[in-house]
Structure 1
Amino acid sequence: MVKKLLLLVVLWLVFFSSLASGYDVLLWGNQEEPAPPQEEFLLLGDLGGHGFSPEAWVDLLPPPEKVVILPSKEDLNRSSEVLNELSRKGYPVVVSDALGHFVHSFSFTENYHTAVFFNFLQDTPAASFDRFLQELQEKNPDLVVIFGTRGNRVLLEEQFAPFRDRIRFFERDGLPRNFRERITVEEKPVLLFFYSSRCPACRELKEKVTPPVFEKYADRIKVVYLDYTLSKNYEKLVLLEEHWKVEEKTSVEIFSDAGYVATEDPERITTLLEELIEKTLKSPRTLPPPRPPERAEELIFSRFRGFTPWVVAGAGFLDGLNPCAFATIVFMVNLLFVLGHSRQRVVEIGVTYTLAVFITYLLLGLGIFQVWQTLAAYRIVSRIVYGAMAGVLLVFAVFSIRDAITYKKDRKETGMTLGLPKGLRVKINQYLKESFSKRRLFAAAIVSGFAVSILEAGCTGQVYLPTIMYIAREIADYRLKAIGYLVFYNAFFIIPLLAVFLSVFFGSQSKALVEFGRKNILFSKIALACLFVVLSILLLESALA
């Protein structure tokens, strides 16, 4: 009975944090007396500047999980060995302006509400503020505590201006003896925004569609973004889905202690989100705790047992309808034909590209690239690559239109940009055959398939793939079966890609189409230009998403 009650309380605190009122941060420094009893605070900020000996200081400190140490210059000079020892023991020792070997900041989170601490000791800090601001942007803290000096206060306030509404600044030089101050971190109602970092539609909703709604209520709610491709976040999502009996699961789901929103429709989600926020703000803070669900692992495993191979195959096929991958293979096949490669070589390269996509998605499912994929840099690379490809396609479109105009004027096939004179075409083909060896072409196909898959991994089945990935990573007894499902899923994932490849290949080689193109050069050039423009727009959308 006691265990059940404890579980109920933990679940309520973790998932329905808006019912809590907040927590206190106790700051103390320049002390002549020990810190107050541990029971009086959740987190203690020690400002240094005290009169204790290094040995006494260590004995008077609370446990590492209850304290952040913000040493003064005197502490660094007098107690550097002790501070290094405390750091090795797990105490967060913060020096933000690159003095010593300590951390530049420390953050403490309780029920998704975060306090971040900075400690600047130099009047002219030799530090890059960009990383501080990026860190704050990512953590979206409720409180930023900055300790500085009279000399650096103006600079720090200017640098941290975007977060001025949540900053408490303290000048160390002006603190009185036995300084103590208690700061309460007020907890706003929390909305948990579950999404997949590998899903373009999710990013569209997260970064463009929903922010205006959240900004409207920014001073009254807190939004926490949780990527459910990470196991710990998927566990939370499954528990919430079970509690709220979510039947139609989508790639984006948003929860509060008053309900949920589950939709991918950009027009509906804003209306539903406003309704949920208003309902959350009006909900009483004394609601009885919900019925505790089963453990997350058991729920996920029960989902996994309900899967059949053909259900998994269907999910893989639907997720494989990726226009960006289609645009790439259409472009590649046509380019290989323009360069004069044989049908056999085009088939080999097309199959290699498709297999590269298959293997990359399989590895993504297993989580091997999970850490790399979540890096912000991959988004920048993605935009550059797709923007460059879109630009090349637009150039091809211009060339096709130019050829159409040239042909309409002269009625000759020679002199066209995309249809070079025979002698020059022979020389170019000879050069290409020497430069683009079989080995290089295969390497290019592999790299292209890998890059396209990594840079624009499409929305995966919100129920199927995350569940299979979780089982494959977390539950050893069923790992082999889960990996088999992953292989099956990805095998059907590439079927649409293979279908596009074969249709483009046989379409490009069709004698009827070739003959039609010769007799209708003007129409063919205009149609080709339209195709290049459409593919370019698809890639530009991915670059700007």
Structure 2
Amino acid sequence: MASQNTEQKNNLMVQMEYYQYNVCASCHPEDDFFAVVSDTISPIKQKYPYEIAVYNTFRAEDKKRFEKRLQELMLKEADVSLPTLIMISEDSEALVCLSGLDEIKEKLEDTLKQAAKPGQFVSSEAALESDEKTEAASLIENESQNQMQISSSDWKEQLREAVSKDKSTDSVILYFSTVSCTDCSEVKSLLKKMTDEQTTKKPLVIHEFNIAEEDNVVLLQKLFSIYDVASDKQQVPIVFFSGGYLSGSKAVTQGLEQKWKDDELTGFNLENILSDDASWKEENKDQASFKTYIGLAAAGFINGVNPCGASMLLMLLAAIAMSGRSVIKTGCAYLAGKFTAYCAMGMGLYKLFMAIGQDIFLSISNVFTWIFAAVFFILAILYLIDFVNVKRKQYGKIRMQLPTALRKWNHERIEKASKINAKWMIPAAVVLGIMISAGEFFCTGQVYLAAILYMMKMQQEMKLQTNAAFIIYVTAMCIPSFLIVLVIEKTKNVIHMSNKTLEWLPAIKLVTAIVFFIFAVFMLMQ
């Protein structure tokens, strides 16, 4: 018994990498491999521990990893057949390769037992002399580069021939599918429906590519690179159009028809793709980022007209105006504090969400999507109710506002700040802006939270510059307050401005409700 425990402790943890070729999002061929694992090595896992990682060579990133492992074993792709299982050494080098499911089934248990014993395998690289290794690696690399050059010219000609007759006003779709794919069948049904609904004013051109043909695989993998398709989205069915792509049956069936109706499928620019892949990709990403920044600026501006923030600012400016001090200097100092506070709070929440969100928000994104969408719909309804109450002048029934205790605390802080010595008024206004903004967040933070979640989604898709996004959002949020400061500085009439804010209150409530509806719909569409 003691010798058995000692043997178990001496055995290495074996790392195994399983490579397969799977183009279909609804297919799971790795199930056959795990059935073999269950029958052969699962019963001995405690004695011979192992970990398994699954890779799909249809994806460019996984294919590069597979090619690297084959180079370590001094093998070419022609020497093996997929699926392939590769055992990995302690220093992360490939040790041995089992090619094909039959060989895996036959030799898996014995190979695992050998790999678990220190020194049983010598990697192929270690077995060769330095010069031999260099020569072999060079030959494989040159062969790969030559093949890539041939493929590069072929895919361009193939794509040019496919879309050469399309007009800039046509709605053009590049659709990739394969046979015996349930998800592809669903997408094909949608495309048939869209084709039946097309008109002479809204023509739809669909170019379908079956990736069972090798040339179409090369074209698809090139488009993966050009459109910067995330690794987990590299699958079929997938459609490409002028402004982006939709991957998977759910994304295509839920989003493609609407994009067609919104004329987002027109303007397919072939020459941009063919002339300079990298610059086209960056241009495409820059255009999407620009639209995102504009959307964030609009959301920030709308959040900036929130009556919670306006009322606190008006109270401060009234006290400053009555004391004869500079409204513009004090107001700008207050807004500097507000800008600092909202940037800090937003970036802090964003980092917190991303720290827990890469796994939680993304791995169980469907759950969170429904939760946040429901919350945003509820907030939209509450703001609509407030809109009705304000129109009826029933201000006591307004729900979406700061709690009474917090409003009282803010009033006390403003009153104390207005009596501070003139020498310390500017720094005091900055500190006051930070303090008031922290409490005000309970009111304005609802739209801000929705914007932060939106940034998370966009960051995953286009590597959004989050610092710039926060600066744009918070700057836009401070613009309405800055305009109030300018008006009061010029007119010296705080009461008039306060009355105007009250007049605008119904519109503010209605627009905020619409913003929440938009955010809710966006979450569901993702």
User: Under TM normalisation by the shorter chain, which class is it?
Assistant: 0.3 to 0.5
Please identify which structure carries the higher helix content.
Answer: 2
TM-score by length of 2: 0.39
TM-score by length of 1: 0.38
